[in-house]
Structures are given as structure tokens and as C-alpha cells.
A and B are shown apart, each in its own frame.
Chain A
Amino acid sequence: MQEQQGFFEFIRQQSGKLLEQTLVHIGLTFISLIIALAIGVTLGILISRKRWLAGPVLGVAGVLQTIPSIALLGFMIPLLGIGPKPAIVALLLYALLPIIRNTFTGITGVNPAVLEAARGMGMSDAQILRKVQLPLAMPVLLAGIRIATVINVGVATLAAYIAAGGLGEFIFGGIALNNTNMILAGAIPAALLALLFDGALSLLQRVNYRKMRLAVWILPLALVALSSFYLLPATYNGKILAGFTPEFMGRMDGNLGLRKVYNLNLRTLVINDMVMYKAAYEKKLDVISGSTTDGRVKAFDLAALEDDKHIFPPYYAAPIVNEQTLARFPELEPVLNSLSGKINDQVMTALNYQVDYLKQSPEAVAKDFLTKAGLYKSPRQGSKGSITIGSKIFGDGYILAYMYKMLVEGNTDLNVVTKTGLGGTKICFEALRNGQLDMYPEYTGTGLLVILQATKNTVDSLAQQPDKVYHYVQQQFAAQYHIQWMQPIGFNNTYALMMRRSDTAALHIHSISALKSYLTAH
């Protein structure tokens, strides 16, 4: 494996992207904060007047806060789709509790003698609210805004998961590729933003009453200004919007190769695999980084662009196994090879379709297939030992992991623990090397480019030939890592740029080069 580049080197290379992500991040944080303030302060005032509402309102806001953020974002997708809208709604729901609670606490904490004096002098309820209650509640309210801001800066990193952008793009990409520099490039600015805003608001909290009145005007203006950052990156928008998975963003057989080999610079959003295809179908994205055996390619009528400059090698899937595991349990090898030749591209696509689109459980789909192929046997409940099977976080991985679990448990006396949904290639691979996984399904092209990081000469010498690629990675993995490639399963799940079929026809874009020409021309 070649040395990773230095952190500052990475920052320098990615400075444009980093700035854009930071601006989007600030924008997301503050748009949601403004809306949360409008709703939260209103509710806080309401429950300070109608005390019986305080319990229910604070209760609901409290429950919202306990929903795991990634789940809340997930709930938003069916309601609001992907992009900034669901992200902003999720963020504002998180910001609500501290704002409502602190408005309420601040207002109810005002000295009753002051209120009595205000009423006794003939101030109306509105005047008391504006001139007495809100100004006196301001320090407590500001503390709530501080908490909400810090929460929002943190949770906004998850917005990248649903294509809303922000510093999470680097963090997710970095996790998927096990690239520490990339993670830090997202995490450090996010932490700095949190510290910066927390510090600024703490200064505001400490100013005296006279300046506080000024602050009451400055704060909303500052919030609006910061919110507008979200719009800045959109101003250099191209016609075509791409959505790539975090892993694709950082791979040579991915966005890096698109830039280097095709000189293709698309405006890209980072998005997770689960919602990417639907987003393309719904015209929220124009180009995506699909994988050809995904069931939704067909369902959503997407077309793969021809890779005319060959940045995507063949990706034949095969289980890869730690040599130590094979030595301990030699009976594994024939079992793992029993799937070889049983699943071609069409079969895999059909299986994925059942999971991705028809929402059947991967376990049931795996069992169904094995039963029809005559490979399924009831688990022997053996006690000889236990192995761990991993998989990456997309369709093929889940189904294959369950198939191997059933095969191993039906044909040997071993127990199988599955760890599915691992965040990316590097995570699976490192776990396999460290013995935390005993095997997982991998693709030859991924092994070649992501793990072996083969040079261009090596890739060219293999000339896109599946057999050559397979033998090369098999040899190199055994030599470098003591990891064995089992026989290929039979299908080729290649990465591809995909567009809506209707667009490819209308715009005459059938290859990546054609897409490049189209972008240059428009």
C-alpha cells in the first residue's frame, strides 16, 4: 500500500471543496436554527402563558431529541425526499427542545415583583412580553441557542447522508475509504465551527443590558447572513447534478478517475447508496454512481454510460478469506466455492431487486434462492467453532453474507456470526486482516484499485480481462496480506455512471466521454 499523503497536503488539494462544504455546513446549521427559533420561541411563550401545555409540549420536543439523528434523517426521506429540505427539518427538530425549554425557563424565571410592577404601571401583556419578559429571559434563551447551535453543527455532519452536503461529505467518504486525512478534513472544521459559534454566543451572553438591546438586532441579522451561506456554492451550478456515494468520491475507479482520466468535473453531492437510485428517478439527481447489479437500476429505468476510457475494471465478486481461518477450518473452502458459477448478472440483479425494491428481507431472499438451487440445508447447530462473515453496506453484500451463513451452517459444524452493513471497503478489509472478520465478499476491481492501489501500467497490462484481474489480485493478496480469494461467484457488478434512460436518449449521452462533451458544450 502506498504512503498516504499528508493531512495538510490533502487540505490544500481539497481547499475549494472544503470551503464549499464549510459554507454549506454553516448555512444548514443556521437556516434550521432560524426556523427553530421562530417556532421554539413562540411555543416557549405560549407554554409560559398556558402552563398546562408545558408538560405535553416539552415532552414531545424531548422525545424528538431522543430519536437517533440518523434515524430521524431516514424518516424524513419518504416525507421530504433528499437534499436540504429533510436535513433542515431534522436539524430544526433537534434544535427545538433547548430553545423552547430555555424560553420557557427564562420567562417563568422573571422576578414576580418586576412583573407585578409592570402590570401595576399599566403595561399591556404584549408590552410586558416585549419590554420585560423577553429581555430578561434573553440570557437564558441565549444559553439555549448556544446548545442548539452546537447540536446543529454536530448533527449537520449527518446531512451528507441524504445529499444535503456539508462537512459530513468528507467524514463519510473518509470512513468508507478508511482515509484518516479525509475524516479529519471534515471533522476538524466541524469541531472548530462548533467552538467558534459557542464562543461567539458566550460573548453575547455576557454583554450587559445596554448592549443586549443591540444584540437583539444583530443576532437575527447575523443568523440570516450565515444562513445565506447555503446558497453560495449553488451559484456556480452546472446543468447536470451528480450524486455519488462517499466511497465512490475517493476512488480511482470513481470520481478521482473521472476527473483525471476523463477530465470530468461534475457538480456533485454525496449521497448514500440507499436513496441514490430513487433520487435519480425523481430527477433530483442527473448522474449517479450506480452498480450494475443493483435491482433498482431496472426498476427506475436507469441506463449505464459506456466507460470508453476504461476507468472501471471488471468487478467479479468472490469471497475472500483469512488464511488462518482456512487453516483452522479446511472444510470451509469447498463450501464457500459451492456458490461459484451459480449466480450470473441477471440472477444477482433479480435478487437485489427483491431486496432493494420489493423490500423483502435479504435473509429470506437468500434462503429462497438456496432452496431453489438445491443448496439449502438446515443448520446443523454444530459446536466446533464460530466464524464471522462481513459485508459492505449495499444490496449484494447483505444477500451474499446470508447465503454464506446458511451454506456454512448447513454443511459444517461451525456457527456463523454476520456483521453486515460495514461502512466501506477499507473497513471490511482492515477487519479481515485483523481477524475480526473471517471472510467477506469482495470484487476483483475493488481489490485491484482500492486495496492494492495498482499503478496505471499494471491496470493497463491486465487489459480489462476478468481472468487476468482475478489471478493478479489472488496472487497479490496471498503474497501481501495472507488472504485467499475463493472462486468467483459468477457475476460482474461493475461501477458505472448512470442516468435516466430518457435523458441518455434525449441528450445523446451514451458514454462518459459524451457526457464530458455535453458539459463542455453547455
Chain B
Amino acid sequence: MKAGNTMIKVDQLSKYFTPLKKVVDAISFEVNKGETLVLLGTSGSGKTTTLRMLNRLIEPSSGTITINGQNILQQPADALRRQMGYVLQETGLFPHYTIAENIAIVPGLLQWPKQQTAARTEELLHKLQLPPHEYSEAYPRELSGGQQQRVGLARALAANPPILLMDEPFGALDPITRGMVRKDFMALDELHQKTIVLVTHDVNEAFIMGTQICLMHEGRIAQIGSPATLLFNPANDFVRNFFSEQRLQLELRIMRIHDTWQWLPSAAPGNNAQPLQPGTSYWDALDQLNTGGAFFVQYQGETKSVTSEALFTALNQYKAQKQ
């Protein structure tokens, strides 16, 4: 059995509901431990069907899925699902269970001792900014949409599954709430060890969360790779056009100051200048620059000053070199 670093391996996976119409057509990909794979695409591209085959809510028509070296199609589906956190767009919280009871569902199925479950529930409520004394005895309908989604995340994480499957987890929230919930979610320390497969049609979200992005179109993979690869080395016109509208914003999101270090001008910091981290994204750096004031970055023994002009010049040179 190959141990390696691969957590999920999908090989020639297909699903057709009628023989003529293949919803998913012989796709293959791998996800490494601790990575986040984003399944991106328009409606009907097959991304949700692909996700639901991973926990066998949909049975594949052909192909194999291997998780941790084991063929999941030969395992009992219920036991498999208890090893995978599952987050839905519509949360699917049990309306007749309290928040605490909702979070405790999978530990309950796994027959955890009561105390352990209670401690874990409380820990998660704290981490997801839901003070237990206020929320654990409440019912889902008493919570806002954002809070319900936080509970949905806590429920998926409760039993410490190594894998998280997320189906448009923030899709039903308004943009501001979505940003806040996502930020709190991504700040969770326990997320570093998780292998995540996330479905979204939100390009921004894909770039914020994805280690790899798998862009799907009509049941096939248009391109799979790192965000930078998809953006700067699109495999075809479909991929290029898919990102064209938000290209600048996406570029600013994925570019970090140290990526363009060689093209930034050296300069001694001014008197009132403030430091920025070399790993700061262009997006965040420009955000800071908008507040006014001067900034500098120290990296590999050099000091460079950062202005918006300098950043854009460096970006253009980076792109010219890539192509």
C-alpha cells in the first residue's frame, strides 16, 4: 500500500444518470494531505456531483476513489461518512436539536464518552465565536444565517475528521457575513492538518482558499493546478476567459510582495515608514497603502520601500517574464 502524501486519489471517475448524458466524465485528480482542493465551475459543470461521490451520497458509475490508500467503494458508506466532515450550503442543521446537540451528532454516532463530546462541543463553539453559555441550548431557528453556518462548520469538525467536504459552504450568506465567517474558519488552527475538498462557483473564494483549483466544465476538468498556474498559464481559452472579468483582482490576491522582490526598487525607509511582511499579498498591501503613509519591507537582507506605483510596475514585469 502506498502511504505517500496523497490523501484522496480519484481515477477515471464517471457518473451518468442516463447513458447519453455524462454528468461527470472520466475525471482524475489527487489531493495531498493538508491541501485544499477547490472544485470550481459553473452550474451543471459536475463539481457538486464529484464532491458527493467522495462520500458516496452519489454512487459512481465507473472509476475508483482511493482515500488513504483504500478503495472507498468497498467500505460501508455510513462508516466512511463518519470519517469525513460534511458542510452544506443550506447547513441542514436539525431543527429539533439544540446547537450543542447538533454539533454532537457525529461524536454520538461514534459513541464518544459524554464528557469528551461536551468538552469538544464547547471548544468548537468558542473557536467559532459562539459563546457556549449563550448558544449551546439555543435552537437553530434562533440564530442568524451566519451563526447557523458557523454551527454547520463546528458540526463537521466535531469528530476531528481528517477530511472535510464542503459544498458551497458560504454560498447562502451575504458578502460581508461570508467574508467574516470564512476568515474565522480559515483562522482555525486545526484546519492545517485537514484535507479539504471545497465546491464553489465564487472565483474569489477559490483563490482565497485553494491550494489547488480544479476548474470543471461540462463534466470534465478544464485545468487543475495552483491558482497562479491557472491565472498566468491557462491551458486554453475557456480557462483564460473564465477569469478575465476578475483577472486584476485575482492577480492582486495571489501575488505576494516577495514574489516580485527582484523588481521592487531598493530604498532606505523614510522616518515615519511602517514595516510590512514580505508574505503580504498585493491586495492587502494596497489596502494598507490606501490608508495613507509610507511602508517598507525587509527581505533577504534588503530593504525596499513599497508604493502602489512600485507594486504595479513590478507586477507587470513579473507577468512579462512568465509569458
Contacts and interface: CB of A to CB of B under 8 A. Distances in A.
Nearest to A123: B109
Given A122-B106, A209-B139, A117 B88 contact: yes
A299 to B, nearest CB: 62
B105 A121 contact: yes
A325 B168 CA distance: 88
Given A122-B79, A122-B109, A212 B96 contact: yes
Interface in B34-92: 55, 57, 77-82, 86, 88, 90-92
A117 B96 contact: no
Interface in A41-95: none
Contacts of A113: 88, 90-92
Given A113-B88, A116-B57, A122 B96 contact: no
B94 interface: yes
Contacts of A121: 81-82, 86, 105-106, 109, 155
Chain A interface residue bracket vs B = 20 to 34
A131 to B, nearest CB: 8
A114 B98 CA distance: 14
B314 interface: no
A124 interface: yes
A489 to B, nearest CB: 73
Contacts of A116: 57, 88, 92
A480 interface: no
Contacts of B94: 114, 117-118, 131-132
A interface, over-half SS: helix
Given A122-B109, A123-B109, A127-B109, A117 B92 contact: yes
A132 B94 CA distance: 7
A119 B105 CA distance: 12
Given A113-B88, A116-B57, A116-B88, A122 B95 contact: no
B93 interface: yes
Contacts of A122: 77-82, 106, 109
Interface in B1-58: 55, 57
A131 B155 CA distance: 16
Among B77, B78, B81, B94, max chain A CB count under 10 A is at B94
Contacts of B109: 121-123, 127
Contacts of B139: 209
Given A113-B90, A127-B109, A209-B139, A120 B96 contact: no
Q: In this complex, which of A111, A115, A119 has the most chain B Cβ atoms within 10 angstroms of its Cβ?
A: A119
Among A111, A122, A123, A135, max chain B CB count under 10 A is at A122
Nearest to B79: A122
A187 interface: no
A260 B266 CA distance: 124
A111 B92 contact: yes
Contact of A120 (B86, B95, B98): B86
A216 to B, nearest CB: 11
A135 B106 contact: no
Contacts of A486: none
A136 interface: yes
Interface in B84-123: 86, 88, 90-98, 105-106, 109
A184 B97 CA distance: 48
Contacts of B92: 111, 113-118, 120
A129 to B, nearest CB: 14
A120 B93 contact: no
A136 B139 CA distance: 14
Contacts of B106: 121-122
Given A120-B81, A121-B109, A136 B88 contact: no
A115 B109 CA distance: 16
Identify which of A114, A117, A119 gathers the most chain B CB atoms within 10 Å of its CB. Answer: A117
Nearest to B89: A113
Contact of B93 (A117, A124, A210): A117
Contacts of A124: 78
A113 B55 CA distance: 16
Interface string A407-424: 000000000000000000
B283 to A, nearest CB: 33
Nearest to B110: A122
Contact of A119 (B81, B90, B93): B81
Given A127-B109, A209-B95, A119 B88 contact: no
A300 B79 CA distance: 69
Q: Which of A113, A121, A135 has the largest number of chain B CB atoms within 10 A? A: A121
Interface string A100-121: 0000000000010111111111
B80 A209 contact: no
B149 to A, nearest CB: 12
Contacts of B97: 209
A132 B91 CA distance: 15
Nearest to B165: A120
A317 B91 CA distance: 81
A131 B109 CA distance: 12
A119 B92 CA distance: 11
Interface string A210-226: 10100000000000000
Contacts of B105: 121, 123
Contact of A114 (B57, B81, B95): B95
B96 A209 contact: yes
A135 B97 CA distance: 10
Given A120-B57, A121-B105, A121-B109, A114 B93 contact: yes
Nearest to B55: A120
Given A117-B88, A122-B78, 8 more contacts: A117-B92, A120-B86, A122-B80, A122-B81, A123-B109, A131-B94, A209-B95, A209-B139
Cβ-closest 8 pairs across A and B: A117-B92, A122-B81, A122-B82, A120-B86, A113-B90, A209-B96, A113-B92, A122-B78
28 contacts: A111-B90, A111-B95, A113-B90, A114-B92, A114-B94, A114-B95, A116-B57, A117-B91, A118-B94, A120-B55, A120-B81, A120-B88, A121-B82, A121-B86, A121-B105, A122-B78, A122-B79, A122-B82, A122-B109, A123-B105, A123-B109, A124-B78, A131-B94, A135-B96, A209-B95, A209-B96, A209-B97, A209-B139
